[in-house]
Amino acid sequence: MNAKIVLLPGDGIGPEVIAEAKKVLEAVGTKFDHEFQFESHLIGGIAIDETGNPLPEPTLSACRSADGILLGAVGGPKWDDPNAKTRPEAGLLKIRKELGLFANLRPITTHEFLIDSSPLRREFVEGTDILFVRELTGGIYFGPSGLEKHDDGTETASSTMVYSTHEVERVVRIAAEAAQKRSGRLTSVDKANVLEASRLWRKVAERVVREEFPDLEYDVVLVDAMAMHLISRPSTFDVVVTGNMFGDILTDEGSMLPGSMGLLPSASLGSDGPGLYEPIHGSAPNIANKGIANPLATILAAAMMLRHSLNLEEEANAIEAAVDSVLRSGARTKDLARGDESTLSTIEMGDRVCSELTT
């Protein structure tokens, strides 16, 4: 197959992990006889530096005509000035919105061969296999916001959580369909005891499940309690659907179940057009340019791209199997190593996955 893949390396460790994922995609292309054409474009802080815009028009139009989009990460202290006209993160929010990518799939699975990399005790972590479905183009990251300056020099700022019936319906359907294909359990997470937007979320989610997916085992959990249950009984969850900010926070927390943010990929999907695939982590400025970032989340995001956007299931499985086998062999980047275990660099880890694929 011929496919155009747009790479958006971004900032910090973004270019380092994207380089490894590209290498793995090239290895898969050679193994399965595909022609992947790669085009790199600007997003985030580097795009602000070069064009003044965190999502320049050429980037957006290249993405619109792509078969799949793979993103590293955006942001960093260089662009953190609260008085700046724009921020790197605005580019990421805008591309998600412009491409209509309302459903963000974030799988969290633990494996026997990685259990010792988790900071949590084995008995809590074992058997975890959760698919988070995070709403991605609504909620508090997209509602009206403002900053008011007062005469006495103080300020008032606001960010508003807004959800409409349609936004909840469509993401709950995606989650419910995924649950039907898995263990048939769906949990919706909200803060309906306090937030009006969550009360609408809960009402709509319950109706969609009752009317369209009556066979699912369905429950609702408040987000604060979910933060606890995610650690104390993660293996009891199957598919979890939640709003934009709650999903963002809970999945970073959930990354400690397998042991590192550097392991978790994500797929952002809309009703049509290309999907966008990225690790769940950010630009990790504290480890950028040191050659120690874990590239596996981005490599696994590339596998999700092959599966969901290019319909290449066998190729996606091959990447996932190669990653499993490399980890099973004991290979660890610094984030996963315990004690004085020896560690691989970002590039060495990418190389190990490639050679596993080609043997």
Ligand X SMILES: NC(=O)C1=CN([C@@H]2O[C@H](COP(=O)(O)OP(=O)(O)OC[C@H]3O[C@@H](n4cnc5c(N)ncnc54)[C@H](O)[C@@H]3O)[C@@H](O)[C@H]2O)C=CC1
Ligand Y SMILES: CC(C)CC(=O)C(=O)O
State yes or no: residue 55 binds ligand Y (CB under 6 A).
no
State yes or no: residue 108 binds ligand Y (CB under 6 A).
no
Which of the stretches 58-66, 113-121, 194-202, 285-293 binds ligand X when contact is defined by CB under 6 A? 285-293
223 binds, among ligand Y, ligand X, Mg ion, none (CB under 5 to 8 A by kind): none
Angle at Cα 258 formed by Cα 182 and Cα 269, nearest 5°?
A: 50
- Would you say 289 is a known binding-site residue? yes
Selected binder of ligand Y within 46, 92, 276, 292 (CB under 6 A): 92
Whole-angstrom CA distances from 50 to 12, 13, 184, 301 are 16, 18, 48, 27
> Closest CB to ligand Y among 245 and 347?
245
> Closest CB to ligand X among 200 and 261?
261
Which of the stretches 124-132, 219-227, 236-244, 278-286 binds ligand X when contact is defined by CB under 6 A? 278-286
State yes or no: residue 285 binds ligand X (CB under 6 A).
yes
Q: Extract the tokens encoding 81.
A: 């000035």
16 binds, among Mg ion, ligand X, ligand Y, none (CB under 5 to 8 A by kind): none
> Is 252 known to be catalytic?
yes
Selected binder of ligand X within 76, 138, 243, 247 (CB under 6 A): 76
Known catalytic residues?
141, 191, 224, 248, 252
Binding residues: 76-89, 96, 106, 134, 224, 248, 252, 282-294
